[in-house]
Structure 1
Amino acid sequence: MSHFDLGRRRVMQAVGAGLLLPGLAPAVIASVKDRPQLTDGVQSGDLQGDRAMIWSRSDRPAKMVVEWDTRSVFSNPRRFVSPLADSRTDFTARVELTGLPVDQAIFYRVHFEEAQTGIASEPWFGHLRSVPQQRRDIRFVWSGDTVGQGFGINPDIGGMRIYEAMRLRLPDFFIHSGDTIYADGPVPAQLTTEGGRIWRNITTEAKSKVAETLDEYRGNYRYNLLDENVRRFNAEVPQIWQWDDHEVINNWSSSKQLDERYQTRDINTLVGRARQAWLEYSPMRRQSADGGGRIYRKLSYGPLLDVFVLDMRSYRGPNDDNLGAEKPFLGREQLDWLKRGLKASQAQWKVVAADMPIGLGVPDGEVSPGVARWEAIANGDPGPAQGRELEIAELLGFLHEHKVRNHLWLTADVHYCAAHH
């Protein structure tokens, strides 16, 4: 068995048990009930060069302390400390690890130190593999649509086992292609499937209704983190997050009409709260653009792979008939950024992580009787490109003109698996 395998086993045993290993005594010894608690585990994300983001959450004001090493015994740990995590961010924190050696197993441990007393939590452990500099095989997984249609954490089947199935593939990273939560999808105590089977759910107050308040949006993320499969996966697999519609409400755009379940009637108010919660809980590297809220970005993963992460929500115009002159979907700034990035990329493969399909018609009711409203890019018209299609036509024409090869688009959103060529 390799050192990496031994380290992996040691780390995951510690994660599962929440153990305080010898040599990891906290700054101030206290009983467990007096210590900060890390019930939501740890996450890593947005690996780039010699850097990686680490995320966790305390239950009280505290600073997150992260130590990393190339050995699971932490014989030479490097230490990083976050700013104070408090109620303004729902006690979430992130730090950026730097100076990571190329293409190595990186073991990290996380604890929180209480702001006033210095009392430290027990540690949680995780690991990742840093970005390669030379050509080597890269394995990653992607998916989306977590806890949708009322199907939540079912203890009868062992919870969200898809995360365990993905973990066992030993991926280098995971692309979450949006719908990281279903803020508009309450989780009942039980529901009946089409085959008549009873599906039982773990329930929480935040998942008892549609999310409207900031804390209700936050509670949707906390719900997912109740699942042991998710926490184990998060501790082992670096992630790349993007958002789609259900982080706010189904098929949202500026023209969204809120249904009777909502007391908040302004879609922009909901979007602002949802974006804040998403940014708090995602292991994404914060960007200064767009007031710190920009989601689209590029991540390079060695000479074989560049990942372009899109935001198909923030810059779109209203969902309508999607005909006529160009209508914004990516928006001019993001479209030009994508064109420049794909043209300049030296990676053999250019993966475009899109939170919606570019060629599939996704209906969103009707604008008026007999006139379809469209949620995605395609408008169902077999003629020349119109509306939102014009942005994609411009992009594809540009890639053809400049002979940009090997660009592969990934998405989720539509709840089925297929390959389109």
Structure 2
Amino acid sequence: MPDGRLVPSRRTFLVTAGLVAGAVTVPSRAAAHAAPRSRSLPADPFTLGVASGDPDHDGFVLWTRLALQPLAEDGLGGMPSRTLPVRWEVATDERFRHIVRRGSAVARPEAAHSVHVELNGLQPGRDYWYRFRVERYISPVGRTRTAPRPGTFGPALTMAFASCSNYEHGYFTAYRRLAEEDPDLVLHLGDYQYEYRKDTYVAPGGNPRDHEGPETETLADYRRRHAQYKTDPDLQAAHAAAPWLVVWDDHELDNNWAGETPERPEIPQPNFPERRAAAFRAYYENMPLRRTSVPRGIDMQLYRRIRWGRLATFHMLDTRQYRDDQACGDGYRACPAASDPERSITGPEQEKWLLKGFRVSKARWDVIGQQVFFAQRDSDAGPLKVTSMDAWDGYVASRERITKGWVEAGVRNPVVLTGDVHAHWAGDLKLDYDDPDSPTVGSELVCTSITSGGDGGDSDPADHPFLQINPHLRFYNNQRGYVLTKITKKKLTAHFKVLPYVHAPGAPVHTKATFVIEDRVPGVQQTYLRPVEGASAARAQDLGRRTVREETVRP
């Protein structure tokens, strides 16, 4: 490729990982002398895979967590109650012929034997491969990437984003298909795991898999639930394919929690602060986050900004920890309190931070990675406005301040990325959603779930009542999947990827729809793919640009 990237095929990546893992089956003489045989680990502790995250132009975070028995009831993974040295290596090639950095970290029992390694001093805008070693065991190989050099655009960025992966509701095949796209960067926008005990939340048609343990309330519960998710091979493949930027939504703690308020505040829950602290601690232990996100009691700094050269700035938001409690309840309501100017979904400090980021941004694309539906989504065809109190519709003044903030700052291309709602959506953002002639000032792309809600079903967007009531909403689909984007200086192209089912493993993936956001042209434009002569429609869908002609239709 023009930028000299070393990009292996997916098959090569997996085979290499297997070869490397199998190459160290007998302890070396040095390892044998390092610890008495009775203190050696009895099995491979890398059962939860590896991950990287929060890339900068000269580094990133590497992560792993050791667990001999991932589902051990105490949440400690069956590990011995002692520290263990963990060696790590970073190379410029997948076979580790050219190792550029190596070192050692300590896996401590009080941190559930998790390891976070923050690296800098690497070359900008290139791929790296990494692995860990403990005693005679070696981890799977992960691939990661540094951002372009500050002030430069670098090549096109392939970025995928996803949300809502309920282990019980299906198989994580969408994660596997996402990994096979060879993205440069992955955003996870929340509901990485779900808190419910077995069969509390049942998908249509039943749950093909079960959660282990009770509803998560204690530190041991959350550690164990994270471990169950991390044992999934498809999720491990997605983590190993690219660096991730993660933010939570509600199910990492408790459905529809808000600030220090649980889902059902009418029921006394004096342990909720302890539950929140436990969830935050387990989240950090199991994610590739920098030390700036180490929890402090019931607080955790999760909103942050990641710059991808001049091409894109990612403003990652936390719309749970600082929000006011939902007005009028959590569901769809006609609620005057939703417009209260004092109500906030971000809290004042995060709002101030975001608005300042808009003012100083020099990026071509300002991308807001966050959790819940941003645009107005009215469900009533009459004069009554009935909207979700858990989304930005429940915090109208907060949304107006943020939107006006990027307009007044002259943000060149504001794009909001959203999860939560278990369906694909695309829409235009307005200052006044009640005026159809109000100018479009931004774009929103919403990813469906990985599994949450079960198989879902294909649908005709034209028949969805929300699209008829809300003309700024352009697309809807209720299948499972993710969104794959390509970001260049001239446009952002979003492919809405879907799977026909998740009740069984191995589903294929295809592109349901493609939308384009052009530089300095706010709003989404659908791109239709037409087969060229001699190529069937199915073949065109499978092979993309090689057999199709693009036609962009402007609304």
Deviation at 1:415, TM superposition (A): 1.1
Distance 2:141 2:6 in 1: 15
Measured at CA, do residues 282 and 360 of structure 1 come closer, stay the same or move farther in structure 2, by a change above 3 Å? farther
Measure, in 2, the Cα distance between the counterparts of 1:54 and 1:90. Answer: 16
1:129 to 135, 145, 166: 145
Give the Cα separation in 2 of the matches to 1:247 and 1:288.
16
Separation in 1, partners of 2:293, 2:239: 25
Paired residue type of 2:58: D
Q: Deviations over 1:340-381 (max 9, x none)?
A: 112211110011001112224599xxxxxxx998222214xx
Match of 2:217 among 197, 207, 212: 212
**Structure 2 match to 1:81:** 104
* Partner Cα separation in structure 1 for residue 211 and residue 88 of structure 2: 30
**How is 1:4-403 mapped onto 2 (pairs within 5 angstroms)?**
4-5=6-7, 11-16=13-18, 19-21=21-23, 27-29=30-32, 34=42, 37-59=45-67, 60=79, 61-77=83-99, 78-82=101-105, 84-112=106-134, 119-133=135-149, 134-147=153-166, 150-152=168-170, 159-183=171-195, 185-188=196-199, 193-194=204-205, 199-201=207-209, 203=210, 205-206=212-213, 209-253=214-258, 254-258=260-264, 265-287=270-292, 291=296, 293-321=300-328, 322-360=338-376, 374-379=389-394, 388-403=395-410
- Given the superposition, is the C-alpha separation of residues 186 and 259 from structure 1 closer, same or farther in structure 2, using an over 3 Å criterion? farther
Following TM superposition, by how much is the alpha carbon of 1:325 offset from its aligned partner in structure 2, in angstroms? 3.7
- Partners of 1:52 and 1:345 lie apart in 2 by 22
How far apart, in 2, do the equivalents of 1:8 and 1:257 lie?
Answer: 42
Quote the Cα distance in structure 2 between the aligned partners of 1:67 and 1:9.
22
Normalised TM-score (structure 1) = 0.81
Which runs of 5 or more structure 1 residues have no equivalent in the other structure? 113-118, 153-158, 364-370, 380-387
**Would the alpha carbon gap of residues 98 and 24 (structure 1) be closer, same or farther in structure 2, given more than 3 Å must change?**
farther
Shift of the 406–79 alpha-carbon distance from structure 1 to 2, 3 Å rule, reads same
Once the two structures are superposed, residues 172-215 of structure 1 have per-residue CA deviations (whole angstroms, 9 ceiling, x without a partner) of: 111000011111x3345997744xxx6532x4533xx3111111
Q: Which residue of 1 aligns with 2:526?
A: none
The whole-number CA distance in structure 2 between the counterparts of 1:248 and 1:189 is 15
Secondary structure in 1 matching 2:425: coil
Consecutive unaligned residues in structure 2, runs of 5 or more: 68-78, 329-337, 380-385, 429-555
User: Matches of 2:400 and 2:315 in 1, distance apart?
Assistant: 18
* Matched residue SS, 2:306: strand
CA shift in 2, pair 1:315/1:24, >3 Å? farther
- Change in CA separation of 1:51 and 1:328 when aligned onto 2, cut-off 3 Å: same
Tell whether the 8 Å contact from 1:255 to 1:319 is kept in structure 2 after alignment.
no
Residues 49 and 231 of structure 2 are in contact (CA less than 8 Å); yes or no, is this contact kept in structure 1?
A: no
CA distance in 2, matches of 1:347, 1:263: 47
CA drift at 1:288: 6.4
For 1:193 and 1:120, locate their aligned partners in 2 and report how far apart those are by CA, in whole Å: 45
**SS where residue 67 of structure 1 aligns?**
strand
Determine which structure has more spread, i.e. the larger CA radius of gyration: 2
Normalising by structure 2, we get a TM-score of 0.63
Q: What residue identity is the alignment partner of 1:374?
A: M
Match of 1:155 in 2: none
**Shift, 1:21, TM fit:** 2.9
Q: Distance in 1 between matches of 2:361 and 2:122?
A: 23
Partners of 2:228 and 2:25 lie apart in 1 by 33
Per-residue CA deviations over 1:294-324 (Å, capped at 9, x if unaligned) read 0000001122111010000111122223343
> Distance between the aligned counterparts of 1:23 and 1:35, measured in 2?
11
Q: Compute the RMSD of aligned alpha carbons.
A: 3.2
In the alignment, the residues of structure 2 paired with residue 151 and residue 346 of structure 1 have an alpha-carbon distance, to the nearest angstrom, of: 42
8 Å Cα contact 2:87-2:102 kept in structure 1: yes
2:417 to 393, 401, 410: 410
Cα drift, residue 265 of structure 1: 4.7
